[in-house]
Structure 1
């Protein structure tokens, strides 16, 4: 079977929502707003239309996205495009576009990230990589791995360019 894959670059528009399905499987979904920009003849940038896409994250991606992303964060998501049909609250049948993500991360052209690598089996909360985008809503949650008891502080930037300091890391097994 052929899969249509692609990448969306934008801003997290809704808080990531984590839920457990009847099968016991977990999923985290959020909306991404991707606004096209173009340059005028005068050299000024103006916003064009905005595309809103639902991104769904499954399996190992659930823990990392849930611990890392917040509304307003610059994000890049790559995965499989799917057409979805649903019934709106007013009862009308709707169609939409969803990205079933294989990978999600911060857009480092618009923020900086500090990663904490954990050794282990490579799945579950113990293997999370936490990012915090300076100047974004995630900056308010300035504790790395806060759900794992790691209290390493993320440095605040004094300018547009973040000065990063290495966090304490454990060696990663190859």
Structure 2
């Protein structure tokens, strides 16, 4: 989940906890029912209440879709051996391809996306290349290294390796670490 989704989820959880507390107070007669009915009758016909309800509905939908995206990263490639199956996550393959591509001469930074359709893998590498390098040569070298390392280390042949050079720059973008 992205950080914005986590912030929204925290606020959403707090509000639902507050609502749950109100229901518990009603259940044990600690909150007079007349206050609740008075509040509800006041809310009828207020467009602001409808707007808040719509906002809650949109937040729920966003969190639901974020949870589906989160599950996507747990897709695996299955390799069968005599002793049993080996499951390799798509995230592990993305990390491996990123490290392989990053160590190609002339590459400054990379972002990798692996798409799995059935048993076929497609790798999309977005790269920043040094201006001193010959871009087609760097791209070809990256494709060759990725295909070779995937076959030798992971045991999987890729259907397609797409290289997208997003920038030609000397700037180095260091990957930020979360501690």
Q: TM-score, normalised by structure 1?
A: 0.23
* Greater RCO (CA < 8 Å, at least 6 residues apart): 1
More helix by share: 2
More strand by share: 1
Q: TM-score, normalised by structure 2?
A: 0.23
**Which structure has the larger Rg?**
2
